[in-house]
Amino acid sequence: MQAAPAVEGMYIHGLLHRVEGDLNNTRAWYADVCSTDVFTSHWGPVPEDPNTESAAGKVEFKDGKYYNEAGGKAPPQPGARVFLNRLEVLQRSGKGDREALERQSRDELDALVKYCVDKFGTEKVLDARDAFVKNSDEINSMSEDMVSGKGGYRKF
């Protein structure tokens, strides 16, 4: 559930990295799903010209991916980048409006749940084997390398 077309799972994966405090990993996963309906339902569409500077900093589109000034992947939506930047400031220095960030986090979770309920419904699924997306051979090889330690940490 970590590869397209399972974009809802990819978004959740990024969100869970955010919960654990790994914000660069979150940025990368958010960048991977930035143009999908599940992500844009909360954060809005990808800007027409993401190669601009805003309060969220610069983002550049190259080779089909979005990168921030530090060279890491990042979503092009300014609201998502500002949110993650503010979380990072709070995490590193303790400065920021914790309650406002918690509300914004809850709003994102609520939007994700609403999107999934609208798309998938709420009926009990007794056998979900047909819903799973099978990874490509390349993804399986990368996963095996990471689990065995052969490939090191995931590269973005």
- What pLDDT, on a 0 to 100 scale, did the predictor assign at position 66? 92
Higher-pLDDT residue of 27, 144 = 27
Among 30-34, 47-51, 56-60, 119-123, the least confident range: 47-51
Mean pLDDT of 59-78: 91
- What pLDDT, on a 0 to 100 scale, did the predictor assign at position 144? 76
Domain ranges of the chain: 7-148
Q: CA-to-CA distance for 16 and 64, rounded, in angstroms?
A: 25
How does the average pLDDT of the chain come out, rounded?
87
- What pLDDT, on a 0 to 100 scale, did the predictor assign at position 79? 94
pLDDT at 3 over 70: no
Burial (CB count within 10 angstroms: exposed 0-12, middle 13-18, buried 19+), residue 41? middle
pLDDT at 34 over 90: yes
Q: CA-to-CA distance for 12 and 102, rounded, in angstroms?
A: 17
Which helix (DSSP H) or strand (DSSP E) does residue 60 occupy?
strand 57-62
Structure tokens at 50: 């993401």
